[in-house]
Amino acid sequence: MQKFTTALVLFFTMAMASSAWSASVSRGQFTTDVIDREPVDMIDTLSSDNRQLKYFTELSDLQGQTVTHQWVYNGNVMFEKSFEVGGPRWRVWTSKTLQPGQSGTWTVHTLDAERTQIMTQSFEYQ
């Protein structure tokens, strides 16, 4: 009986752990626009003649949680936006208008409710 109980506890522990690991960002990308909840292109470098940029994420199995996009430039948080995730597949995006003189590497951290980074991506603004 003790082996059965141990096996049962181990099974439920592994099942709970695997369900926690399945929550994630399925896709994340920088884009110039989002149409019908889909990014129109993928940007890794943006020239200064185009100052508007969006960051898109598709979230999986995070319903009921809060997820945040945190835009960082030169080590400083420039913008944050939080979202309440309403379903098992949820698509969100934020946008940022970049100013002249803000060239260099920009990073967006996608944070979970505990503010743990669940995805980080960067692009170059030239």
Q: What mean pLDDT, rounded, does the chain reach?
A: 87
Ranges of each domain in the chain:
23-125
User: What tokens does 21 get?
Assistant: 């690991």
Model confidence band, residue 114 (pLDDT cutoffs 50, 70, 90)? very high
Taking the whole predicted model, whether its pTM rises above 0.95 is answered as no
C-alpha to C-alpha distance for 82 and 33, rounded to whole angstroms: 19
Please report which confidence band the pLDDT of residue 3 belongs to, taking 50, 70 and 90 as the band edges.
Answer: low
In this structure, CATH architecture of domain 23-125: Sandwich (2.60)
- Of all residues in the chain, the percent with pLDDT exceeding 90 is 78
